């Protein structure tokens, strides 16, 4: 039986944990077997990974196309009819309203091959600029800050194995114990090795409980906190002057911004006492090396790019960047959130992380695609702006691997915009809440039924290998794009074979920032993944970036001056409490797949509102009572979960569920001016007992 085991990777988060799949004979399709030789997780898996095969089962997933009949119901249909309907819908919209009236919305869970093909399909076949993806909601602020400071965006510029060997880690707005459980061992090993851990989070999470120091700022004040800590670095003479002089630029302006944020002011803004600020700086600067790791907490804000930039400034000023065992990194969330934006799903990017506005980039990619560079459209709308334009400027939409009815901010509004479309087609593995609104639904293969690459949070390109045969009525996304392209007049250029698509992606990315030219399926298998950039097959890959120079024109990292500003929406007498959102360990993203797994639902059956005992007493609710949370955009109701692990002025809701407990009915779509990231993590709400 061992010879039948297939080495692959978990379909969920950006760890992309290694696993093996083995056929079984008790009615299940496959079972998960530990893969202890894979260095990222070393065999460890969370409950989502262990139960991932459950979604492969018949009765859980889609097994045939659906089309909406004259009575408004989704009914089974053949593939030819379904594909023809999609081609007719997209073609008709283009003819009547122009190419940009057709939109494409992708997903951070799509393989690199699918992301690449989808971006090419949008720009070559549809000729539309209106393409973006749900990864915009993940780490776009960190990506923008990386680009500004380092000239290159890769989630972690070092492998995870470096974390336990550094001296101090500051973890900002991340709850690894719930979001990436197998990664928690790196923090455990850090402390076992004598390193120190500082966790910054408005909640005392399971991760914060592991910390030497926990700072609990008011949501939306992470920028002020970072500036206050940098102020103390300067005031206490802890700046690494040699590093700043030889490897950076722009320090004088950044220092001036930090000095305007003295500790007492920062305490008033954040609620973090000055002694704790000082202790954090002493722990970090007292170590020989250090890392700052951020996640969605500081990033999903209307000032997320500046907030990440402030933490990068903190790293640069202390010499904790571009050196072994030191640096700033972003903990990417979605399974292929890194690769998904590198190769063409993002509104302003071409494969290889090339800018769509760069003439040389356009010429190179157009040459690979065999088209005139002048025919490529320019940058389009960001994710929320695209969704907001539905039914108005954008009249038809193709969605692949995303569920914005649950995952988008101001979700009630987004749901109405989707309903207003002339035509909606969705390709997914399950009938998600978004797919349920579609005119045509296509059932597509899942992770275990197809081969393809993903890029994890380290920048390690990995290969998922097909382990089982998909049901007869299911096709891969690449086969879907191949068929649609042919129906729309492009019979060549959209192969359905993943390795053929990957080889084209390698050529398209060659010479770009995210250069995959030297990465092959054979190398990935032999080397447990290959780190980009990897410009040639004789290149070893690049596990550690920036050790000799940064990716800017002059090789120096750039300080970017930033200053604190309030959240886009502050509390007042009508909405006096701050809502922040996040994940729980047994569900994932919009829950479209995990909510169909009995074991996971037993552990996390539904939404809840986490609130402090004093707030609960003030509004007259007890544990388990139904609570109504209302913002300027909507209302959600869910049972109360009362705990002193959260600030008194803050409530928390997980965002995995639709319906009356949908947290994103409340969230604010205010956008970061640089990254266009919505402000998921901060909005003003009213909390009451639900009458």
Banded model confidence at residue 2, pLDDT cuts 50, 70, 90: very low
User: What pLDDT sits at residue 333?
Assistant: 81
pLDDT at 460 over 90: yes
Rounded Cα gap, residues 516 and 156, in angstroms: 17
Cis peptide before 308 (omega within 30 of 0): no
Rounded Cα gap, residues 158 and 163, in angstroms: 9
Give 334-366 as a 3 state SS string: CCCHHHHHHCCCCCCEECCCEECCCHHHHHHHH
CB-based burial of residue 531 (10 Å sphere; 0-12 exposed, 13-18 middle, 19+ buried)? buried
What's the mean pLDDT when you consider all of the chain? Answer: 96
Q: What are phi and psi of 168, to 5 degrees?
A: -155, 135
Per the CB < 8 A criterion, the answer to whether 536 and 517 are in contact is yes
User: What pLDDT sits at residue 238?
Assistant: 98
Fold of 141-331: Dimethylsulfoxide Reductase; domain 2 (3.40.228)
Model-level pTM? 0.96
Taking only the tens place, the pLDDT of each residue in 13-44 is: 999 999 999 988 655 579 999 999 999 999 99
The mean pLDDT of 522-535, rounded to a whole number, is 97
Taking only the tens place, the pLDDT of each residue in 210-269 is: 999 999 999 999 999 999 999 999 999 999 999 999 999 999 999 999 999 999 999 999
Taking only the tens place, the pLDDT of each residue in 297-324 is: 999 999 999 999 999 999 999 999 999 9
User: Token digits for 388?
Assistant: 């907001």
Rounded Cα gap, residues 183 and 185, in angstroms: 5
Q: Which residues of 155-172 are buried (b: 16+ CB within 10 A; e: fewer)?
A: bbbbbbebbbebbbbbbb
The mean pLDDT of 413-426, rounded to a whole number, is 98
Taking only the tens place, the pLDDT of each residue in 47-106 is: 999 999 999 988 899 999 999 999 999 999 999 999 999 999 999 999 999 999 999 999
Banded model confidence at residue 391, pLDDT cuts 50, 70, 90: very high
Q: Which of 229, 329, 337 is nearest to 275 (CA)?
A: 229
User: What pLDDT sits at residue 349?
Assistant: 95
Taking only the tens place, the pLDDT of each residue in 549-573 is: 999 999 999 999 999 999 999 999 9
User: What pLDDT sits at residue 28?
Assistant: 57
User: What pLDDT sits at residue 29?
Assistant: 79
User: What pLDDT sits at residue 26?
Assistant: 58
Q: Which helix (H) or strand (E) holds 187?
A: helix 184-192
CA dihedral 389→393→395→399, nearest 10 degrees, is -40
The CATH number of domain 66-137+340-531, selected from 3.30.70.20, 3.60.15.10, 2.40.128.20, 3.40.50.740: 3.40.50.740
Whole-number Cα distances in Å, 163 to 73, 157, 186, 189, 397: 52, 11, 6, 9, 42
Look at strands 626-630 and 635-642 and give their pairing.
antiparallel
Tell me, yes or no, if the two domains 141-331 and 577-689 fold the same way. no
Fold of 2-56: N-terminal domain of TfIIb (2.20.25)
User: Token digits for 561?
Assistant: 């001056």
User: Token digits for 290?
Assistant: 């250090």
Taking only the tens place, the pLDDT of each residue in 565-597 is: 999 999 999 999 999 999 999 999 999 999 999
Fold of 577-689: Barwin-like endoglucanases (2.40.40)
pLDDT at 150 over 70: yes
pLDDT at 1 over 70: no
Q: Give the residue ranges of DSSP H helices in 201-317.
A: 222-235, 241-247, 251-259, 263-270, 274-286, 296-299, 304-317
Q: How far out from the chain centre does Cα 651 lie?
A: 23
The mean pLDDT of 634-639, rounded to a whole number, is 98
User: Token digits for 156?
Assistant: 């972690």
Banded model confidence at residue 177, pLDDT cuts 50, 70, 90: very high
Q: What is the biggest distance separating any 2 CA atoms in the chain, rounded to whole angstroms? A: 73
Q: Which residues contact residue 28 at a Cβ distance below 8 angstroms, ignoring those fewer than 6 apart? A: 53, 57
Q: Which residues contact residue 45 at a Cβ distance below 8 angstroms, ignoring those fewer than 6 apart? A: 10, 17, 19, 32, 34, 182
pLDDT at 357 over 70: yes
**Number of Cβ within a 10 Å radius of residue 146:** 24
DSSP annotation of 573: S
User: What pLDDT sits at residue 691?
Assistant: 72
pLDDT at 3 over 60: no
Rounded Cα gap, residues 305 and 242, in angstroms: 27
Q: Where are the domains of the chain?
A: 2-56, 66-137+340-531, 141-331, 577-689
């Amino acid at each position: 039986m061992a010879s039948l085991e297939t080495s692959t990777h978990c379909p969920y988060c950006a760890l992309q944990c290694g696993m093996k799949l083995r056929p079984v004979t008790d009615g299940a399709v496959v079972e998960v077997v530990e893969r202890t030789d894979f260095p990222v997780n070393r065999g460890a898996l969370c409950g989502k990974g262990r139960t991932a095969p459950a979604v492969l089962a018949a009765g859980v997933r889609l097994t045939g196309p659906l089309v909406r009949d004259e009575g408004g119901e989704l009914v089974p249909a053949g593939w030819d009819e379904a594909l023809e309907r999609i081609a007719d819908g997209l073609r008709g919209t283009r003819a009547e309203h122009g190419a940009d009236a057709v939109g494409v919305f992708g997903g951070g869970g799509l393989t690199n091959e699918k992301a690449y093909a989808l971006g090419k399909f949008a720009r070559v076949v549809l000729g539309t600029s209106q393409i973006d993806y749900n990864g915009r909601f993940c780490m776009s602020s960190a990506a923008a800050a990386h680009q500004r400071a380092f000239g290159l965006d890769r989630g972690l510029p070092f492998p995870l194995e470096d974390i336990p060997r550094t001296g101090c880690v500051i973890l900002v707005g991340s709850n690894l114990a719930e979001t990436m459980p197998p990664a928690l061992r790196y923090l455990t090993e850090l402390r076992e090795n004598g390193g120190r851990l500082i966790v910054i989070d408005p909640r005392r999470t399971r991760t914060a409980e592991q910390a030497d120091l926990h700072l609990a700022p008011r949501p939306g004040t992470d920028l002020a906190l970072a500036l206050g800590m940098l102020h103390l670095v300067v005031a206490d003479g802890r700046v690494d002057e040699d590093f700043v002089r030889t490897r950076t630029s722009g320090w004088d302006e950044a220092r001036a911004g930090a000095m305007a944020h003295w500790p007492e002011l920062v305490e008033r803004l954040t609620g973090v006492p000055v002694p704790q600020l000082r202790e954090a700086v002493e722990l970090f600067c007292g170590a020989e090396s250090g890392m700052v790791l951020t996640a969605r907490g500081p990033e999903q804000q209307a000032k997320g790019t500046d907030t990440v930039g402030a933490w990068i400034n903190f790293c640069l000023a202390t010499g904790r960047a571009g050196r072994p065992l030191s640096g700033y990194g972003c903990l990417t969330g979605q399974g292929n959130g890194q690769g998904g934006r590198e190769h063409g799903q993002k509104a302003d990017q071409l494969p290889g992380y090339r800018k769509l506005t760069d003439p040389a980039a356009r010429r190179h990619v157009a040459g690979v695609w065999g088209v005139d560079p002048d025919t490529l459209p320019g940058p389009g709308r960001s994710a929320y702006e695209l969704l907001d334009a539905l039914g108005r400027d954008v009249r038809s939409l193709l969605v692949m691997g995303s569920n914005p009815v649950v995952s988008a901010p101001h979700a009630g509004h987004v749901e109405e915009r989707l309903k207003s479309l002339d035509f909606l087609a969705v390709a997914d593995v399950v009938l998600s809440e978004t797919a349920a609104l579609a005119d045509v639904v296509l059932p597509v293969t899942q992770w275990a039924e197809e081969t393809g690459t993903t890029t994890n949070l380290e920048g390690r390109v990995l290969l998922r290998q097909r382990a089982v045969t998909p049901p007869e009525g299911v096709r891969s996304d690449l086969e879907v794009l191949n068929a649609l392209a042919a129906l729309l007049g492009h019979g060549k250029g959209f192969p359905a074979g993943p390795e053929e698509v990957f080889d084209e992606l390698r050529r398209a990315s060659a010479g770009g920032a995210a250069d995959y030219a030297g990465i092959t399926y054979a190398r990935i298998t032999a080397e447990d993944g290959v780190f980009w950039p990897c410009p040639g097959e004789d290149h070893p890959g690049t596990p550690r970036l920036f050790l000799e120079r940064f990716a800017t024109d002059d090789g120096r990292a750039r300080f970017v001056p930033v200053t604190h500003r309030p959240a886009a929406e502050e509390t007042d007498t009508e909405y006096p409490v701050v809502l922040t959102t996040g994940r729980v360990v047994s569900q994932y993203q919009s829950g479209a797949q995990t909510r169909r797994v009995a074991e996971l639902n037993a552990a996390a059956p539904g939404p809840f509102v986490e609130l402090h005992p004093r707030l609960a007493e003030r509004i007259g609710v007890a544990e388990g009572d139904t609570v109504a949370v209302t913002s300027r955009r909507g209302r959600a109701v869910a049972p109360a979960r009362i705990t002193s692990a959260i600030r008194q002025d803050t409530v928390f809701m997980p965002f995995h569920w639709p319906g009356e407990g949908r947290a994103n009915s409340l969230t604010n779509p205010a956008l970061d001016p640089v990254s266009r990231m919505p402000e998921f993590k901060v909005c003003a709400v009213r909390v009451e007992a639900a009458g």
